[in-house]
Copies of this chain bind each other. A is one copy, B any other.
Amino acid sequence: MDLDAYLKDCRARVDKALDSYLPAEEMLPAKLHKAMRYSIFAAGKRIRPILMMAACEAVGGAPDAVMPAACAMEMIHTYSLIHDDLPAMDDDDFRRGRPTCHKVFGEALAILAGDALLTEAFILLSRMGEDDRIALDTGRRVTSLIARCAGSMGMVGGQVVDMESEGKEIDLATLEYIHTRKTGALILASVQSGALVGGASELQVEALGRYAKAAGLAFQVADDILDIVGDQALLGKDVGSDQQRGKATYPALLGLEAARTRARELRDLALESLSGFDEKAEPLRRIAHYIVDRSF
């Protein structure tokens, strides 16, 4: 399979669905909907929705059935970026080469656009089961999974510990605590939600959970490596920005070579988790390679 074409195709379908689900820019209050759309359509890689679609496909489901949940996931991811960029948090003026939401729309509207995107995600999730493409209890379980992974013991909790750790010496256990929550939790929720919508067995949901945990952490290790050796275009942020902030990273804690070994181990763990799956899991396999190999 051609991974680039697969990613491009998925991205186009996600973008189209996001456009149809989000309130139009002229809907009142127009400025709020403009801010929401500005951040959603800021050249995101749509990695979480794509993982959801690929996981759904891996268990034999039709990837279009996950579209509401996939778009909800992208809205949650985007709200977290808007709030992370705020002056009171990371105080970032640029993201992916464009001014951040609060630089364009002001701080108050950026806070509210984030709030509205998080809420909009649950408007979308509550549509699952409205028709008979998805069973009501599956919709409920997916909503519960996504909310738990996004909440105080998931993504938000990871962000809090990350913030508290800035400028401090932290150990590997704390670094993994942060990553499994701040970025890992939404990746786990994406993969397992896709599996649930696709009609996976409990065993398949578990195996895909192992895949997601390994791939999610591998993604972070690779990101840390790229922050040192990568080029800006691939990374989507300034090279060296983690070091400047005094953020703990895998290469800083383990050394560059050991970090690369860790990334490879995690990739292999992700691939092993898919051993019981047939060729329909090929996109997930290729994504695991892609995540890690870009940092070599």
Contacts and interface: CB of A to CB of B under 8 A. Distances in A.
A108 B89 contact: yes
Contacts of A122: 122, 125, 143, 147
A293 B294 CA distance: 68
Contact of A29 (B28, B29, B161): B161
A139 to B, nearest CB: 6
Nearest to A156: B116
Interface string A207-234: 0000000000000000000000000000
A29 B164 contact: yes
B147 A126 contact: yes
A140 interface: yes
Complex copy number for this chain:
2
A60 to B, nearest CB: 24
Interface in A45-89: 79-80, 83, 86, 88-89
A88 B111 contact: yes
Interface in A133-173: 136-137, 139-141, 143-144, 147-148, 150-153, 156-157, 159-161, 163-164
Given A88-B107, A107-B88, A140 B150 contact: no
A108 to B, nearest CB: 5
Interface stretch (A30-38, A192-200, A239-247, A278-286): A30-38
B119 A27 contact: no
Which of A89, A116, A128 has the most chain B CB atoms inside 10 A of its CB? A116
Contacts of A127: 144
A25 B89 CA distance: 23
Contact of A140 (B107, B126, B153): B126
A137 B143 CA distance: 14
Interface string A5-34: 000000000000000000100011101110
A36 B152 contact: yes
A32 B160 contact: yes
A177 to B, nearest CB: 8
A268 interface: no
Contacts of A120: 147, 151-152
Interface of A: 23, 27-29, 31-33, 36, 79-80, 83, 86, 88-89, 106-109, 111-112, 114-116, 118-120, 122-123, 125-130, 136-137, 139-141, 143-144, 147-148, 150-153, 156-157, 159-161, 163-164
Given A23-B152, A31-B160, A116-B157, 18 more contacts: A31-B164, A33-B152, A80-B115, A86-B111, A88-B111, A109-B160, A111-B111, A112-B160, A115-B118, A118-B119, A119-B152, A119-B156, A120-B151, A126-B141, A129-B136, A129-B137, A130-B140, A136-B136
- Pairs of residues from A and B, 9 with the lowest C-beta to C-beta distance, nearest first: A126-B144, A88-B107, A136-B136, A116-B152, A119-B151, A126-B143, A122-B147, A123-B147, A29-B160
